[in-house]
């Protein structure tokens, strides 16, 4: 073997010796690192609710606490004696604690959770512990200690927090393969829940966010993994062209919220004119709308397409015994409350021991001085002799003591000064002993009744610190927003009827309507074919298109009237049907299915209108009747797959529209669901009434504002609404209000003259306020007078409002109720009255509509419900609805 080969082998052997497998090291080191991040950085401990950095900050603030503010930079520097990480992480953690406004009393610019502005540099801002923190977080006597990371100092293993602090502040962290997200809860509600737990009662707690807003906790699942919280901004209508956002969802800020609104506007999902951010101490974002844009639909669109509604997924994970524990918020509260009870017990036991020691020495001191035992040591020359002499002198008097006398006790007696002995007052000494006995008895009573003591402790916290901590987030169940009904129609739809194409790119062809990029389009052809397809740039449907419109799913009020020829020379049939469910991009044959079938007549009717048409036959053979009328009101509404009713077996020359029809559908029943504060046609909540196209809803607010609106399902209702009912134009509204300018009560009755206008029916003085309002025909009220000094109270006065004042204009002042001072005014039961029947100008025949809808997915048969109507069914003619085609 050559020398070169030998060298190569030696080199390979050396390389082989240097190869080290890292699999084992990787497993050990990665696990160590993951454990460190989970336990020492990201996840809070269940015992006190703190992460390590937060605990060290609080411990450092206690070290430095002298009642005055300290520079945050100084606190951060002091914390670095305990915390092995840099100052930036400590300062950030401290700002987060300070912004929660519970443990730290802040001074300076600590940032703004509403706007997202960051805090000033730590050298400019100051902090000190809050009174609440000093009360519930610290007690060195019951704190377990450990050495700091460098062994130079002692730091707490856990702080003795006697409050469910983790739930009050919330906590969030991401570790290696693990995360936690505990939402903040309400201070007062946590205390109430702790008290209920101590009493053995059930409780339920829900998050409460510092940014307020409205939240739906239906799927909260006690804060466990898999739960979900929907949070919305609080949006109201300032005027017809302006919306105002006054509260925002948790984890957002005004900057991110405005950015999301602008992005949605750029994408064409919503349409806004401009946004103003006037946020300071409170949120105020003004959203200005272009004229003609519905504020109610825009509110829903903001919830659907922007951060005005977000979904938060909680994840309850804490550290217990150096291990991650997945736990719900109710169990967290129970464990925290039980831990507080044990801490209170430890605190009481320590106090008991201290008081018993004080009582023991006070008793020894009294025996020592009162029996002049100090004189027994005058002849002693050694220390041992002194100790023995005192011990011997005490023996006859210590039988009532609770523990033996130790040498340490005797040494303390020798340290008593002569001056104190000379001024010793036996009565005062006994009073001190009696006071100590009372305190010992009290503590023993608390220990014997520990649960009652803990309940009193929580109630004291609520009394001392609960002011101003009421719930900010409104709890409400949300109604889902249908994005297809609130999206802005941001593109235009065109059709080439002859070639059979529809799409948004056919700008040279016939314009049909505005649509959005998420709409479905329904198309009918002359051959009797129907298809529903997604909006696209260009889609082939089939030649000879006769009708195109935006398709509304589950629309049972748009009725299609059709007359068709079966085959090339077959009989002619008439049918009426609704299209409620389909398979997208599938071609449906609305005829009997024979080749060369064609439509003679077609119309789409958004409110079930039934027109009259004339049928003209060709002169063939001995046919006597060549023309007659068909009223579609006589045709039952059936499924789209039905064959229809026979019109004639003979050849049709043409069909003409003779008379436009009126709706054959029953009035639509509308309910109001108070839980979600929305109208619906599904029977949820309280029935408002049956509505035809021209009917309106009457709304009266506590502020004295009155208006009537068309009952659209997208309508939002204000919190101060006190009356909401179907409006009867001839029924008067009666009201008693306090006129702030004249400082008197007035009665008025009026009718609404401007049905589409929002008006105020009380004076605009700031002190004016509405007392009672009634929409009954003959309302009665009772007036209770204020008792004057030295006089008997006047008897209550009953007022028949119908007789008290005639019907006047809405802007009239009204008649003065009384000059006497009024304590309160109550509505009584109204007098009986038979309201006049509302007879329509023309009798409308209402037929029962039975629709057999052969759904292609499940073949189920559905009945067309006459009281169901999609709120978008009354659209402009640009939507292609209400079209009539003659062939």
| 686-691 β-sheet, strand order | 678-680, 668-673, 686-691
Cβ partners under 8 Å of residue 664, min gap 6: 559, 608, 609, 610, 632, 633, 844, 845, 846, 847, 849
- The residue with tokens 């839980």 is 675
**DSSP class of 395:** G
Asked if residues 153 and 84 have their Cβ atoms less than 8 Å apart, the reply is no
Task: Indicate the angle between helix axes 383-394 and 329-370, nearest 10 degrees.
Answer: 100
Asked if residues 550 and 519 have their Cβ atoms less than 8 Å apart, the reply is yes
- Supply φ then ψ for residue 854, to 5 degrees: -80, 90
Cβ partners under 8 Å of residue 204, min gap 6: 193, 330
DSSP-based three-state secondary structure for 735: strand
Cβ partners under 8 Å of residue 349, min gap 6: 447
**DSSP class of 842:** S
The C-alpha atoms of residue 392 and residue 318 are separated, in whole angstroms, by 59
The C-alpha atoms of residue 471 and residue 827 are separated, in whole angstroms, by 32
Question: Is the dihedral angle over the CA atoms 856, 859, 860, 865 positive or is it negative?
Answer: positive
Taking alpha carbons only, the member of 53, 238, 58, 248 closest to residue 143 is 58
Asked if residues 699 and 717 have their Cβ atoms less than 8 Å apart, the reply is yes
Q: Active site residue: 124, 220, 303, 494, which one?
A: 124
Alpha helices (runs of H) in 65-141, residue ranges in sequence order: 72-79, 87-99, 131-136
| 822-828 β-sheet, strand order | 797-800, 780-785, 822-828
- Identify whether 303 is a catalytic site residue: no
* Phi-psi map region of 212: left, alpha, beta (phi>0 left; psi -120 to 50 alpha): left
Q: What are the Cα distances from residue 297, in Å, to 248, 305, 527?
A: 19, 12, 38
Question: Is the dihedral angle over the CA atoms 377, 380, 385, 388 positive or is it negative?
Answer: negative
Asked if residues 139 and 347 have their Cβ atoms less than 8 Å apart, the reply is yes
- Length of the chain, in residues: 887
Taking every pair of Cα atoms in the chain, the longest distance, rounded to a whole number of angstroms, is: 159
DSSP-based three-state secondary structure for 470: coil
> Looking at beta carbons, which pairs linking 740-745 to residues 24 or more positions away fall under 8 Å?
740/765, 740/766, 740/767, 740/768, 740/769, 741/765, 741/767, 741/768, 743/767, 744/816, 744/817, 744/819, 745/771, 745/816, 745/817, 745/818, 745/822, 745/825
Structure-derived torsion over alpha carbons of residues 353, 358, 362, 365, reported in degrees to the nearest 10: 90
Cβ partners under 8 Å of residue 338, min gap 6: none
The C-alpha atoms of residue 527 and residue 522 are separated, in whole angstroms, by 15
Residues designated catalytic: 124
């Amino acid at each position: 073997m050559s020398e070169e080969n030998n060298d190569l082998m030696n080199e390979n052997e050396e390389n082989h010796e240097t190869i080290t497998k890292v699999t084992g090291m990787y497993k050990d080191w990665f696990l160590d690192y993951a454990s460190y991040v989970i336990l020492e950085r990201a996840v809070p401990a269940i015992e006190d609710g703190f992460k390590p950095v937060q605990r060290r900050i609080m411990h450092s603030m206690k070290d430095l606490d002298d009642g005055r503010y300290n520079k945050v930079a100084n606190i951060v520097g002091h914390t670095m004696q305990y915390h092995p990480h840099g100052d930036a992480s400590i300062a950030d953690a401290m700002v987060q604690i300070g912004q929660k406004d519970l443990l730290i009393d802040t001074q300076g610019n600590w940032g703004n959770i509403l706007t997202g502005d960051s805090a000033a540099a730590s050298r400019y801002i100051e902090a000190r512990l809050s009174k609440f923190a000093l009360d519930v977080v610290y007690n060195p006597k019951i704190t377990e200690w450990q050495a700091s990371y460098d062994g130079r100092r002692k730091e707490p293993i856990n702080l003795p927090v006697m409050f469910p602090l983790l739930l009050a502040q919330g906590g969030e962290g991401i570790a290696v393969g693990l995360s936690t997200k505990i939402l903040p809860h309400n201070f007062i509600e946590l205390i109430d829940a702790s008290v209920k737990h101590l009493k053995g009662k059930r409780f339920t707690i829900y998050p409460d966010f510092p940014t307020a807003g409205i939240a739906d906790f239906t799927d909260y699942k006690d804060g466990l993994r898999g739960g979900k919280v929907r949070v919305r901004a609080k949006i109201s209508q300032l005027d017809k062209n302006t919306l105002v956002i006054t509260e925002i969802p948790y984890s957002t800020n005004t900057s991110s919220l405005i950015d999301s609104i602008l992005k949605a506007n750029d994408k064409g999902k919503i349409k806004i004119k401009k946004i103003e951010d006037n946020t300071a101490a409170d949120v105020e974002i003004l959203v200005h709308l272009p004229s003609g844009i519905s504020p109610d639909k825009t509110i829903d669109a903001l919830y659907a397409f922007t951060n005005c509604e977000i979904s938060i997924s909680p994840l309850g994970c804490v550290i217990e015994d150096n291990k991650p524990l997945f736990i719900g918020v109710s169990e967290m509260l129970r464990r925290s409350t039980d831990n507080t009870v044990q801490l209170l017990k430890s605190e009481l036991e320590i106090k008991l021991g201290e008081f018993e020691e004080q009582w023991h020495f006070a008793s020894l001191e009294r025996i020592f001085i009162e029996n002049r035992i100090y004189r027994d040591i005058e002849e002693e020359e050694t220390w041992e002799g002194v100790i023995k002499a005192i011990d011997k002198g005490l023996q006859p008097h210590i039988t009532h003591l609770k523990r033996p006398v130790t040498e340490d006790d005797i040494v303390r007696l020798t340290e008593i000064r002569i001056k104190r002995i000379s001024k010793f007052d036996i009565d005062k000494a006994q009073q001190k002993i009696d006071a100590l006995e009372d305190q010992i008895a009290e503590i023993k009573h608390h220990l014997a009744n520990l649960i009652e003591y803990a309940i009193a402790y929580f109630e004291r916290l609520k009394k001392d610190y609960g002011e101003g901590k009421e719930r900010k987030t409104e709890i409400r169940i949300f109604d889902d927003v249908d994005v297809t009904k609130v999206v802005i129609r941001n593109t235009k739809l065109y059709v080439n009827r002859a070639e059979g194409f529809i799409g948004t790119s056919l700008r040279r062809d016939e314009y049909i309507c505005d649509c959005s990029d998420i709409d479905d389009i329904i198309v009918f052809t002359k051959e009797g074919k129907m298809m529903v397809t997604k909006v696209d740039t260009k889609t082939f449907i089939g030649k000879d298109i006769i009708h195109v419109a935006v398709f509304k799913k589950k629309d049972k009020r748009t009725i299609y009237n059709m007359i068709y020829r079966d085959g090339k020379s077959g009989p002619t049939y008439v049918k009426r049907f609704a299209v409620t469910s389909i398979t997208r991009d599938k071609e449906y044959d609305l005829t009997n299915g024979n080749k060369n079938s064609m439509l003679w007549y077609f119309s789409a009717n958004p409110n079930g209108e039934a027109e009259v048409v004339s049928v003209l036959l060709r002169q063939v053979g001995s046919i006597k009747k060549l023309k007659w009328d068909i009223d579609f009101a006589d045709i039952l509404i059936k499924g789209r797959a039905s064959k229809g009713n026979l019109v004639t077996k003979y050849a049709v020359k043409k069909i003409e529209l003779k008379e436009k029809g009126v709706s054959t559908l029953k009035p639509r029943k509308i309910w109001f669901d108070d839980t979600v504060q929305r109208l619906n046609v599904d029977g949820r909540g309280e029935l408002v009434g049956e509505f035809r196209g021209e009917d309106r809803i009457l709304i009266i607010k506590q502020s004295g504002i009155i208006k009537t609106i068309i009952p659209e399902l997208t309508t939002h209702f204000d919190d101060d609404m006190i009356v909401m009912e179907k409006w009867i134009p001839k029924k008067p509204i009666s009201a008693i209000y306090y006129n702030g300018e004249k400082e008197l009560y007035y009665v008025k009755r009026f009718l609404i003259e401007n049905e589409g206008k929002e008006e105020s029916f009380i004076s605009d003085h700031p002190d004016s306020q509405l007392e009672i309002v009634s929409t009954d025909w003959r309302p009665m009220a009772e007036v209770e007078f204020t008792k004057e000094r030295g006089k008997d109270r006047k008897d209550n006065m009953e007022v028949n409002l119908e007789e008290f004042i005639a019907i006047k204009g809405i802007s009239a002042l009204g008649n003065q109720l009384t000059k006497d001072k009024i304590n309160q005014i109550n509505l009584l039961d109204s007098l009986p009255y038979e309201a006049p029947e509302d007879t329509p100008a023309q009798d409308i025949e209402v037929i029962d509509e039975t629709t057999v809808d052969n759904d292609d997915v499940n073949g189920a048969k559905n009945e067309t419900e006459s009281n169901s109507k999609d709120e978008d069914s009354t659209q402009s003619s640009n939507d292609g609805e209400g079209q009539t085609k003659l062939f």
